Amino acid sequence: MKISCFVFYSSQIIKTTATGAVDLEASKRRLRRLASDTEEAAEYEILLDLRGVSGELTLAAMYELAHERGRIDPLFGERIAILFEGDEHDGAVAPERPGSDSGYQVAHFVDFEAAMTWLSASDDRE
């Protein structure tokens, strides 16, 4: 199945402090700037590739970044996949899964193929 996906990489988004901690507010500002420069992403599903982040990025912070992307342009595709490394969040329950009121869905993955399969699935899109 063919999928149109726009990828935002951690190196483009994530900003860290001098101590190496992830600066979530600065990262959200970077994401807003990047998203506003990529109008063509409006027609695509979104993959936030957060592999290789230096500094600790919690699952809740990852979802906050995904929600920020959804707020920036509510006209993009219907799904945002978060891709990250490691097993520290495996089995973790998402802090919030937006429903029909937000117009998009968010899920997290450690496997690229699983993320792409979920993004391309047509089930549960309404």
What are the beta bridge partners of residue 88?
none
8-19 confidence digits (pLDDT tens):
889 998 999 988
Statement: residue 70 has pLDDT above 80: no
Q: Are 29 and 69 in contact (CB under 8 A)?
A: no
Token pair 């199945």 is found at: 1
Global confidence as pTM? 0.76
Looking at residue 93, its pLDDT comes to 44
What is d(CA 64, CA 24) in angstroms, rounded to the nearest whole number?
Answer: 9
For residues 87 and 45, which has the higher predicted lDDT (pLDDT)?
45
- Whether residue 94 contacts residue 126, with contact meaning beta carbons closer than 8 Å, is answered with no
Model pLDDT for residues 24-36, shown as the tens digit of each residue:
999 999 988 887 7
Region 101-111: mean pLDDT is 79
When pLDDT is cut at 50, 70 and 90, the band that residue 73 belongs to is low
Residue 35: other Cβ atoms inside 10 A:
21
| pLDDT (average), residues 2-11 | 79
**91 pLDDT band (50/70/90 cuts)?**
very low
CA neighbor of 63 nearest in space, from 114, 107, 19:
107
Q: Give 3's pLDDT tier (boundaries 50, 70, 90).
A: low
- Maximum pairwise Cα distance, the chain: 44
Q: Please classify residue 16 by burial: count the beta carbons closer than 10 Å to its beta carbon, then call 0-12 exposed, 13-18 middle and 19+ buried.
A: middle
